[in-house]
């Protein structure tokens, strides 16, 4: 079993002040695979002090110098991509093929976006007799989740570092192992001491100490709505800038002229990516009422190819959920769907089996790929983020009804629309109240701003917009 006993603070691996330990488990088996430090407020104090001390040095580097450091980090992560994919398959449960192709490659892309940005001249705007400049905001607290554990870190620290900020990172204690790999890489890359610091631990101790720390200038948080609202409330006491990425309940709208077979197949794949533990998952599939049964048959056939299995098996498409608690949460939602009167098409409450009838693994947190049809758009399974492999198919009468259902959500992070007429699809996308909409399965663009409306959060990650979240705007009259 792997043991990480130290925190990364001030450019060195150091013993924590606190002596507690956190056990990390393999969700496919329920067995412990590692232990990490359980840091506390005293460790946060040391890390923030190191970041504050490093800030003048890091902020004072030229764009080319910061770029060179990010290149070293990116290249070192690229060299360890296979290792990172295997670690994520083991502590998150993401199937190995996806863990390597997406989970381990996105961080490399994240860094590349800001490496390219730093190759461009500083952005300065002039309005009349005023120079509008952007300056690094200071010390950033980055608090990240477990579902995309390394990408959610790099999409925060890469723009923060590019903007000239220093960082204290608190990763999720559920899947923290790639954060330690990243700190090894940062140490090898020789970043100035204190530019990036790592304190592991639980939210009520480490997270809240960071959010309330007087020397932290910006808090960037990704996680649940209840935790995000608490982060915002705590940060408000010291007037910190806060960015929140809090999840979604995305609608995949298939208009009446769309290629139904393609749209359903892609929609099912999106909904079940990473076991449905993806904030952008298209978990509501909206289909024309007259084609509902056809869509249901297509979705059933597609979903039943997602058999739960060992995430280290390259053939596995559906791994376990990350924890026993997450499994219970998802099963409770499946029961709520049954109780609501929705039609259970496939999947359900029983433990999944392999084609030969055997269980994927004893002790693993597996849930069947589940599809509901004839779902009431106001029901619990259509309104709340489940974070598991559960898809709701909702019929609509016409385009206006589809738009009303799509916007009938407290969330507004992502979504999709399909039509044979691209102009029609784009016009529909403009009216959907979400931060991103994919038209006809268009590819994700890591250089575009990412974030949501309503309960999906505040601010933007990725692209140049993310750098702006870590800067202050100054007007200089001349």
Annotation marks residue 155 as catalytic: no
Residues 433 and 412 sit within 8 Å (Cβ to Cβ): yes
Among candidate residues 433, 455, 452, the one with its CA nearest the CA of residue 229? 455
Residue 39 dihedral angles phi and psi, to the nearest 5°: -70, 175
**Residue 295 Cα distances to 252, 281, 286, angstroms:** 12, 18, 10
Q: Measured between alpha carbons, how far is 182 from 188 in angstroms, rounded to an integer?
A: 10
Active-site residue identified among 18, 173, 245, 461: 245
Query: How big is the chain, counted in residues?
Result: 478
- The answer to whether 286 and 418 have CB atoms below 8 angstroms apart is no
CA 254/CA 248 separation, integer angstroms: 19
Catalytic one of 25, 173, 279, 385: 279
Torsion of CA 340, 342, 346, 350, to 10 degrees: 10
Angle between helices 63-79 and 151-163 (to 10 degrees): 160
Token pair listed for 136: 């690094």
Which residue reads 């496939």 in tokens?
346
What is the 8-class DSSP label of residue 276?
G
Q: Give the separation between CA 386 and CA 119, rounded to whole angstroms.
A: 41
Neighbours of 200 (CB within 10 A): 25
Q: Where are the alpha helices (DSSP H) in 22-140?
A: 41-60, 63-79, 81-91, 96-98, 106-118
Beta strand pairing call for 2-3 and 31-38: parallel
Asked if residues 170 and 212 have their Cβ atoms less than 8 Å apart, the reply is no
> Does 279 qualify as catalytic in the annotation?
yes
In order of 148, 381, 441, 460, the CA distances from 436 in angstroms are 19, 22, 12, 11
Question: Any idea which residues carry the catalytic annotation?
Answer: 245, 279
């Amino acid at each position: 079993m792997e043991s990480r006993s130290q925190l990364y603070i001030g450019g060195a691996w150091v013993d924590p002040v606190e002596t507690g330990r956190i056990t990390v488990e393999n969700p496919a088996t329920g067995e412990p695979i590692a232990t990490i430090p359980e840091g506390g407020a005293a460790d946060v104090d040391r890390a923030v002090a190191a970041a504050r001390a490093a800030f003048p040095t890091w902020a004072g580097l030229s764009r080319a110098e910061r770029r060179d450091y990010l290149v070293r980090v990116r290249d070192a992560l690229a060299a360890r991509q296979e290792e990172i994919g295997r670690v994520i398959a083991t502590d998150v449960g993401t199937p190995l093929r996806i863990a390597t192709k997406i989970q381990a490659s996105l961080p490399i892309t994240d860094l590349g976006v800001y490496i390219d940005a730093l190759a461009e001249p500083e952005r300065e705007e002039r309005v009349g007799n005023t120079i509008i400049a952007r300056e690094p905001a200071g010390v950033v607290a980055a608090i990240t989740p477990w579902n995309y554990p390394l990408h959610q870190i790099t999409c925060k620290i890469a723009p923060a570092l590019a903007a000239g900020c220093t960082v204290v990172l608190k990763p999720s204690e559920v899947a923290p192992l790639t954060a330690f790999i990243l700190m090894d890489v940062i140490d090898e890359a020789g970043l100035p001491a204190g530019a990036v610091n790592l304190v592991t631990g639980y939210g009520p101790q480490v997270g809240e100490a960071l959010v309330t720390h007087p020397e932290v200038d910006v808090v960037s948080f990704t996680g649940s709505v209840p935790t995000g609202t608490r982060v915002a409330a705590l940060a408000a006491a010291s007037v910190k800038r806060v960015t929140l990425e809090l999840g979604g309940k995305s609608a995949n709208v298939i208009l009446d002229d769309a290629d139904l077979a393609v749209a359903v197949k892609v929609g099912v794949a999106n909904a079940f990516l990473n076991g449905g533990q993806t904030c952008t998952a298209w978990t509501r599939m909206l289909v024309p009422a007259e084609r509902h049964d056809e869509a249901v048959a297509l979705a059933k056939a597609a979903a039943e190819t997602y058999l739960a299995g060992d995430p280290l098996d390259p053939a596995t498409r559906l791994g376990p959920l990350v924890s026993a608690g997450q499994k219970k949460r998802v099963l409770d939602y499946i029961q709520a769907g049954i109780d609501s009167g929705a039609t259970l098409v496939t999947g359900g409450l029983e433990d999944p089996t392999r084609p030969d009838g055997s269980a994927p693994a004893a002790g693993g947190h597996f849930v069947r790929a589940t599809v509901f049809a004839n779902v009431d758009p106001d029901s619990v399974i259509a309104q709340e983020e489940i974070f598991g492999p559960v898809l709701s198919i909702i019929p609509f009468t016409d385009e206006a009804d589809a738009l009303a259902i799509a916007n009938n959500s407290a969330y507004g992070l992502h979504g999709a629309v399909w039509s044979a007429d691209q102009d029609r699809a784009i016009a529909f996308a403009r009216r959907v109240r979400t931060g991103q909409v994919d038209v006809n399965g268009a590819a994700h663009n890591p250089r575009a701003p990412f974030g949501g409306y309503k309960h999906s959060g505040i601010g933007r990650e990725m692209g140049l917009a993310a750098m702006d979240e870590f800067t202050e705007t100054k007007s200089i009259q001349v």
